[in-house]
Amino acid sequence: MLFYSLQETVAMTLAALVLDWLIGDPAWKRLPHPVVLIGRWITLLEKRLLPAPGGPRTEARTKLRGVGLTAATLVVAFGAMAAVLWVAQALHPWLGYAVNIWFISSTVAVKGLKEAAMLVYRPLAEGHLEDARKYVGYIVGRDTTKLDEAEITRATVETVAENIVDAVVSPLCYALLGAAPLAMLYRAANTLDSMVGYKNDKYIDFGWASARFDDVLNWLPARLTGALLVLTAALTPGAKAVPAARSIRRFARLHPSPNSGIPESAVAGALGIELGGVNVYHGRISERARMGWPLREREREDIRRTIRMMYGVSYWIAGGLLLCVLFDWP
């Protein structure tokens, strides 16, 4: 452990999760969010490292530069967070606790995901389809201008389900292993993947290292998320645990990501709906693997059901952490 005992880290990770439930990403923030700063750093390095179109650009050379981008971003994110935490601890131990809790909470986004999804749900419930299309366009990369209610629901459910790993379970796992510095390193890796980890002409080589490293970091948390989603489905109205487990076994491997298919297939199976299908990106049609069994039509209430499942996963984690704190384990 870098700065704290394991018991202290468990307690502070629990506090950070509760803080995210209560506050999330505050609208009154005066300083840029850490993820925004990481994004600016990535953009700066990309301009310097990504070979210009039409210039000398071999696969090996471009991949090597992408490795440099990944390594530099992870080192800076971890080092800067470690330095901030070290200074806070040096000033006062309780300041160190507060800083650690706050920065861990900034890597988690339970409340933020709920708010983003509800921003889509509310206009759907009010019959304002154009507004729902606009807001779902904020959280997905596909074209949303012609989506009907069922497709808007699918896009929102897929986004929330996938991000149960990226924005809930993974950052909490790495916070437990290495406090705020390791949680921030994970968030940097995830931001790299979201910015340059695409399999298109521009990024397929340059973003290769970022995408692969994000896959590695999410491998175990994704499988933990699958198990927690099955447990959550057993206690969530409108969801079923056995189909969730069967859906993971049947469909998760069909997803192009080794990790994202697990939460998406679990949610699809639990709710008795089908996820995946045809997406349009900048006029190009893309067929995504279909997950789950279409036992019924998708409906806007599936958004709220998925939000409840996301919260259920976070409650399982919080309960485990609370037991560790109460019984002073390990």
What tens digit of pLDDT does each residue of 225-234 get?
Answer: 999 999 999 9
pLDDT tens-digit series, residues 52-67: 776 566 888 899 999 9
Confidence (pLDDT) at 54? 62
Calculate ∠ Cα 50-162-266, nearest 5°: 145
pLDDT tens-digit series, residues 143-154: 999 999 999 999
Percent of the chain with pLDDT over 70: 96
Instruction: Name the pTM for this structure.
Output: 0.94
User: Is a pLDDT exceeding 70 seen at residue 245?
Assistant: yes
Give the domain ranges of the chain: 6-326
At 294, which amino acid appears?
P
Q: How far apart are CA 218 and CA 173, in angstroms?
A: 10
Output 58 or 300, whichever has higher pLDDT: 300
User: Is a pLDDT exceeding 70 seen at residue 277?
Assistant: yes
Q: Mean of the per-residue pLDDT values for the chain?
A: 94
Confidence (pLDDT) at 199? 84
pLDDT tens-digit series, residues 316-328: 999 999 999 999 8
Unique residue bearing structure tokens 């909470």: 105
Average pLDDT over residues 177-196: 97
Q: pLDDT category, 1, cuts 50, 70, 90?
A: very low
The secondary structure of the chain in percent helix, strand, coil, rounded to multiples of 5, reads: 70, 5, 25
User: How many other C-beta atoms can be found within 10 angstroms of the C-beta atom of residue 2?
Assistant: 15
Percent of the chain with pLDDT over 90: 85
Which stretch of DSSP H or E encloses residue 314?
helix 301-326
Q: pLDDT category, 285, cuts 50, 70, 90?
A: confident
